[in-house]
Structure 1
Amino acid sequence: MRARLGRRLVAGTVAALLTCTVLAVGGAQATRNGTQASPSAPVTLGYYEGWIQQERPPSAFDLGAWTHIMHFGVYPTAAGGLEWANLTGGQANELVNAAHEQDKKAILVIGSEGYGEQFVEATKPANRAGFVAEIVNAMRQHGYDGIDIDWEEHVAADQFRSLITELRTALDEVQPRPWLSFDAVSGLLEPELAAELTEYVEVIHLMAYWSDGRDELAAYRSAGIPPHKLALGVGLYVDAQDGYHDDTRQKVRAKAELARTEQLAGLGAWSFGHLDDGHSDPRLQPLREFVANE
């Protein structure tokens, strides 16, 4: 399960984070080189696993509940390449076409829990330029609208910083300007490091799957990240290791209300495979309402 390691590592620090004071940050949305650097309308990021796609194709899901379909995933190799272990090129094309038919964005996810060591090797100076080029080429080849980086453990701060900034530079050469985001959890990615990189990404997705989200939100807001750069994670699965699950419509609605109250960019949900039904699962309704700004 994605981010399970991160949930274990942060468990001991959650109580301390609850004491953090959420800073009030106002003003206009950040821009970079004169282009919009954060979403201007509520976003919902729905993570769709390639390993379920054959049995549950895009048509099995109500894409209307989502603004961005996060296609999961493609993994880094130590040499700076990409491993298409859970996606095929045909599945990539199928998802991109389905998303675009409904005016949704299709985002390619690079990484996963368990690939931290490969990220460390792929982002060393000797490999990083080639790694960035591989990512951009994969995005362009299949028509994705952007990239999400999911580096969950062994995060080397200097290398992570260089990956995000160099990837942003490479993506800025593509028109229309592609989306860039990364996933974060405070036990694995320091909030202060994330704060340094806010101008380079549309959204930072907080994987707050194991709690009501206030702890993760406090940690990253206290580091100075403006609310319109944060998407709050919704965990649609049930894991016996966790004492909290977003397993009811009421819990998902509570996170949506928190996102509205705090003026966040939106919500991110792991994952399509944990929806009881891709069209009628009752937890989809608060997401539809959030997208519609109701």
Structure 2
Amino acid sequence: MVVEVGPAAFSLPTQATRHFACNVTGATDTRCTWSVQEANGGAMSADGIYAAPASPGTYHVVATSVADPASSASTAVTVTVPVTNKPWVTGYYLGYFSHTMYPPAQVDMTALTHFVFGRVAPGGGSLDGNPGDVVLGGGNSHDPGLSPDGVRSIEDYLIKKAHDAGRKALLMMGGAADGDGFLLSTTDGRRKDFARKIVDYMVAHDYDGLDLDWEDKFEGSDEITPHVSGAEAKRRAFALIADLRAEFARRPRYQGAGRAALLTLPGYTVSINDLEPGGRVEQWQADLANSVDQYNLMSYGIGTTWNGNGWLSWFSSPIYGATGVTPRDLNTSVEAYERSGVPRGKIGVGIGFYGIYFGPTITGPRQDTERNPVYETDDVALNYADMVGMGYMSHGTYHWDEIAQVGYRSYPNGGYIPTGSGRNPAGFLSYEDPLSIAAKARYVRQAGLGGAIIWAINYDYLPDGTSPLLGAVKRNFLTATP
């Protein structure tokens, strides 16, 4: 009989938690019991959750076979003093929903450290336009006179509101499906002028930084002429970042103490099935993360879930629990980036103010999805406020997953369909709630991460004027002792 325990030796801060798994071969009963070798070395739950002690040191987690208590395995855990810096909270506001979701006058800037206005896009991308141009994508939120003060645009009103609250305002450039637009706008003949136009726009509207949402086509593109290879696509991305940095350095707006332009970029979690040798991400991903000031993981929705292709049903933005058939979570991705040279303090976690669901034959996590015909991931259709209004939160049964550190709702007996909606039935709904947000705040602090992004703060505003998820973020991330 052989007992194995994983993950292998690693470190975590004092009073942090980490999930362990045991693998027993040579016995029918593959269960393990858990213990910590050292006295006062922390505690283990029956589910394999290690709770580190308050004192730094090296301790050993032990897994013992239930079938043969003489067979066991252990792994070393180095417990360190945690980083205590206040985390960032970077929240996206979608200007094109400013008249229907979260009125500008009600936006609580004190719940954020960085306010991101969405959006503009590269010409030739999802909003068309000429390659190399900055294309407006915030609907009429760019138009003067439509803000609550009757003078400014909604965009400029919100930038001033952020500044009045002592917060930074960032411009969202790009988004999903803008990869071709970025590639067309960053040819050697266009790129420097494109960077200049972006920074011109930032200065004109008094932005403090740029959120560069280049999310796709890093593998290249056959959909534009001439074809762009993966190597060339990556070269263009790094060259654009360099040109933006150079353009920032030339502008008086970004000179002086506390005025340097901030550059952020949303990235992806990584599958444990696709890691490089040594449990690393591809080097270009690490280099990209290190080239910006915040590298925030879009761990919500399809960032951590999938339907079919060998996946079991899984959660939006789980902290722990990745396996070969649920291969993405926050912690394994953070560790992979760190092994590749990315400081933890540069990485942010993702919090989605919307849900995803699987069909009625799936009523919880870790279930076979190969024959599941329903997999709904539309963030607009499943924004938190609409889920509340349509009864998703008042039907089904709420569960908490101790391993993944997220909650979910289960709708057995044919699933749940909001009355008159015509929607597909939901069997398993994954979403953020105040408990999972609190867990992420603890994880960010304990793991020494930079902070979190929210997509999107519009989605949380309820008809009674409350924002329960944003309120939970404010309480847990921006207080000294969550």
Query: What TM-score comes out, normalization by structure 2 length?
Result: 0.50
Other-structure match for 1:178: 261
- Determine if contact 1:21/1:222 at 8 Å carries over to the other structure: no
Measured at CA, do residues 254 and 282 of structure 1 come closer, stay the same or move farther in structure 2, by a change above 3 Å? same
Measured at CA, do residues 19 and 171 of structure 1 come closer, stay the same or move farther in structure 2, by a change above 3 Å? farther
Q: Deviations over 1:100-143 (max 9, x none)?
A: 11111110010010111111111111110111001101100001
| Superposed displacement of residue 281, structure 1 | 2.7
Counterparts of 2:135 and 2:10 in 1: how far apart (Å)? Answer: 39
Aligned length: 262
Taking the TM superposition and a 5 Å limit, the aligned residue runs for 1:1-294 are 41-55=86-100, 56-78=102-124, 79-87=131-139, 88=142, 90-155=153-218, 156-173=233-250, 174-175=254-255, 176-186=259-269, 192-209=283-300, 210-212=316-318, 213-240=330-357, 241=376, 245-277=430-462, 280-289=466-475, 290-294=477-481
The 10-residue stretch of structure 1 (56-65 or 122-131) with the greater mean CA deviation from structure 2 = 56-65
- Determine if contact 1:191/1:219 at 8 Å carries over to the other structure: no
The one-letter amino acid of 1:236's match is F
- Determine if contact 1:22/1:221 at 8 Å carries over to the other structure: no
Percentage of identical aligned residues: 26
| Superposed displacement of residue 58, structure 1 | 2.5
The one-letter amino acid of 1:80's match is G
With a CA cutoff of 8 Å and minimum separation of 6, indicate the structure with the bigger relative contact order.
Answer: 1
Unaligned runs of 5+ in 1: 1-17, 25-39
Query: What TM-score comes out, normalization by structure 1 length?
Result: 0.80
The one-letter amino acid of 2:356's match is D
The 10-residue stretch of structure 1 (41-50 or 179-188) with the greater mean CA deviation from structure 2 = 179-188
- Determine if contact 2:170/2:209 at 8 Å carries over to the other structure: yes
| Superposed displacement of residue 20, structure 1 | 9.5
Q: Deviations over 1:212-266 (max 9, x none)?
A: 1224323322322101101111111112336774431011111111111111111
The 10-residue stretch of structure 1 (278-287 or 115-124) with the greater mean CA deviation from structure 2 = 278-287
Unaligned runs of 5+ in 2: 1-5, 13-84, 125-130, 144-152, 219-232, 272-280, 301-315, 319-329, 358-375, 378-427
Counterparts of 1:93 and 1:270 in 2: how far apart (Å)? Answer: 21
Measured at CA, do residues 102 and 21 of structure 1 come closer, stay the same or move farther in structure 2, by a change above 3 Å? farther
- Determine if contact 1:107/1:148 at 8 Å carries over to the other structure: yes
Query: What's the Cα RMSD here?
Result: 2.6
Q: Deviations over 1:186-216 (max 9, x none)?
A: 469x652242245542211111113212243
Counterparts of 1:22 and 1:118 in 2: how far apart (Å)? Answer: 41
SS of residue matched to 2:448: coil
| Superposed displacement of residue 52, structure 1 | 1.4
Counterparts of 1:195 and 1:82 in 2: how far apart (Å)? Answer: 28
SS of residue matched to 1:51: helix
| Superposed displacement of residue 144, structure 1 | 0.7
SS of residue matched to 1:125: coil
Report which of the two structures shows the higher radius of gyration computed on alpha carbons: 2
| Superposed displacement of residue 53, structure 1 | 1.4
The one-letter amino acid of 1:293's match is A
- Determine if contact 1:66/1:104 at 8 Å carries over to the other structure: yes
SS of residue matched to 2:92: strand
